[in-house]
Amino acid sequence: MDSSLFTLRSSLKVTLLGTGTSGGVPSLGCHCKVCGSNDPRDKRMRCVALIESDTTRVLIDCGPDIRQQLMPLPFKPLDAILLTHIHYDHVGGIDDLRPFSVFGPIRLYGDKKTCEHVRQIMPYCFGEHLYPGVPKLELHDAEPHVPLHIGNLTIVPIQVMHGKMPILGFRIGSFAYITDMKTIGDGELPYLEGVETLVVNALRFEKEHHSHQLVYEAIEFARRIGAKRTYITHVCHHIGLYDEAQRRMPEGVTLAYDGEVICCPQPPTV
């Protein structure tokens, strides 16, 4: 691969606004020790990440908790929203971004299928005669391996498999964000060479799932691509209490939590 695709002129700040699975944690109606925990690290909203360079702000996904997740942050423009796939826990908060329309159109990037489905679930946002106040949305196709140039970021989409469903992960410099993955094709691995910091999904430790990795699978994947730091996201309450689960992680692997900030130094531009 051409290494110049993956370089960046400045460091990245990655804020994990949500690290939970589709139902969030605590889970409705559950009285397990995790759902009843007072440790804030055991409370998880749906998966969203905010990526910031010195000039550019990008969201990865926009789930149904997005209003609550963005409320504590400075109200500043978002240069793009990168969508991994169409499932509700990853797109259910798009309408809540309407206040950002004061800065101009809200630019959404996803694969062709995701963009088509956004049009289907939000038809009131597209067409000639829009209802006053609807979010101003722009849909942009993102294709695996075709770089997106957003602000001073070069973002390379990666294709992974969510069960039988192809979805997108994203690489920015030496950082990669992948969620809802079960498997990945060998042809994608060259696009992850040189990744040092990885955020990747793992639902729980035990009990196989048809479309999500378990912790051991995420660890094997991280080792396969040579990541130096790995953060586990998109977890459910079956992962266990934070402190207990973290003690089960090998060196270099961290159970992520909501609000965690990761600083990713980037290599100089080649």
Half-sphere exposure for 261 (CA within 13 Å, toward CB): 5
In this prediction, residue 266 has a pLDDT band, given cuts at 50, 70 and 90, of confident
In this prediction, residue 269 has a pLDDT band, given cuts at 50, 70 and 90, of very low
Delineate the domains of the chain, giving CATH numbers in brackets: 3-256 (3.60.15.10)
Across the range 135-163, mean pLDDT stands at 98
pLDDT higher than 90, residue 91: yes
The Cα angle at residue 159 between residues 153 and 162, in degrees rounded to 5: 125
**Nearest alpha-carbon partner for 19 in 57, 39, 40, 49:** 49
Mean pLDDT of the chain: 95
The two counts, helices (H) then strands (E), for the chain are: 5, 14
pTM score above 0.75: yes
Q: What is the pLDDT of residues 110-121, one digit of tens each?
A: 999 999 999 999
**Nearest alpha-carbon partner for 149 in 207, 109, 91:** 109
* Structure-token pair, residue 76: 């500043």
Across the range 10-38, mean pLDDT stands at 96
